[in-house]
Structure 1
Amino acid sequence: MKLQVEQAKEHIGKLFPFKFTEPATVLGEVTAFPWSHHDITISGDFRYDGQNFIVNGTVHTQGDYDCTRCLALVQHEETIPFSETFGVLKDWEDEEASEVVPFDGETIDLTEVIRETLIINEPSQVLCQEDCKGLCVHCGANKNVSPCSCESFVVDPRLAVLRTLLDEKDDD
């Protein structure tokens, strides 16, 4: 995932588009993520502003997730924008204080930027459908497929004594 940028120095402000598709394995050790077995597509553009290279783009990926509520297998696609500024390392005095990512001046390697973008934007919840009913807490049946025969109102065992008081009052 490398961009050849030396030609951009001759054309300050000109946008240079890029697009490539790679297997997620080029990002290193990412096997813990559902998108690790799929290809990722990176597209965008870069330009030279006279001092730094500005890269803007999107990462498109898909993964096989478990629905957060009912555990059904869901294929989830995501397109995530990213933006990063790169500068030639030898031009810097204080590398730590800069928000510019260093590079060698000829080739920008986007691998770490893409990896961080995907990991930071990993969804915390994926649903099979917006109104997923989930699983029955008692029998484990998928409520999206069919309703179960479990009692829907269950009293917390710590409050069961209070429930008996209500039952006694109804008997009177």
Structure 2
Amino acid sequence: MKLQVEQAKEHIGKKFPYSYTEPASVLGNVTAFPWSRHDITISGEFWFDGQNYIVMGTVESHGDYECSRCLQPTEHKQLDSFEETFVADPRGRMQADDSDIVPFDGETIDLTELIRDTLIINEPSQVLCQDDCKGLCVHCGANLNVSPCSCESFVVDPRFAALRALLDEKDDRLS
């Protein structure tokens, strides 16, 4: 995913739109991620500000995930934004301490690493099949979204069983 940016140098401040739809496999070895088997869509704009090239955009991805509560397969779509500043450095003379600005050859900006990093950094830690997913019963493993189970709804934590026994004795004495 490369941007041809040499025309932007002639038109300072003019924004140039771009849009790509590519298989996620163009990002390299990303097979560990659920979105790696689908297409990703990148769109945005770039411009030359007189010194640097500014690239802004969004990455739209979707993947086949497993619900974190009930373990059912679910599709998750995500839209992540990015912004990066590039400087033409055809001879590679930039210093390593210029971490806010990325050097490039002056003609094309390769977005591959930026897109891959954006997707990986924004990978969701938890995906739900629905906002109010009830999950699985902790005792029998039944999917509570499908139907309620017959397990006792109030189970005393074994660490507090002795306290529960004291409460039961007190209730027996009061009756």
Between 87-96 and 70-79, the greater mean CA deviation after superposition? 87-96
- Give runs of aligned pairs for residues 9-158 of structure 1, distance below 5 A: 9-89=9-89, 90=91, 93-158=94-159
Dislocated runs of 4+, deviation >6 Å: none
Q: Classify the secondary structure of the residue corresponding to 1:170.
A: helix
* Number of equivalent positions: 172
Q: Which amino acid aligns with 2:82?
A: F
Q: Cα RMSD over matched residues?
A: 1.3
- Please give the alpha-carbon distance, in whole angstroms, between the structure 1 residues aligned to 2:100 and 2:46: 17
Sequence identity percentage: 72
1:94 CA displacement: 2.7
- Please give the alpha-carbon distance, in whole angstroms, between the structure 2 residues aligned to 1:93 and 1:123: 34
Q: Classify the secondary structure of the residue corresponding to 2:117.
A: helix
Q: Classify the secondary structure of the residue corresponding to 1:151.
A: coil
Q: Classify the secondary structure of the residue corresponding to 2:171.
A: helix
TM-score (norm 1): 0.95
- Please give the alpha-carbon distance, in whole angstroms, between the structure 1 residues aligned to 2:50 and 2:4: 16
1:99 CA displacement: 0.8
TM-score (norm 2): 0.94
Unaligned residue ranges in structure 2 (runs of 5+): none
- Give runs of aligned pairs for residues 150-169 of structure 1, distance below 5 A: 150-169=151-170
Q: Classify the secondary structure of the residue corresponding to 1:113.
A: helix
Q: Classify the secondary structure of the residue corresponding to 1:148.
A: coil
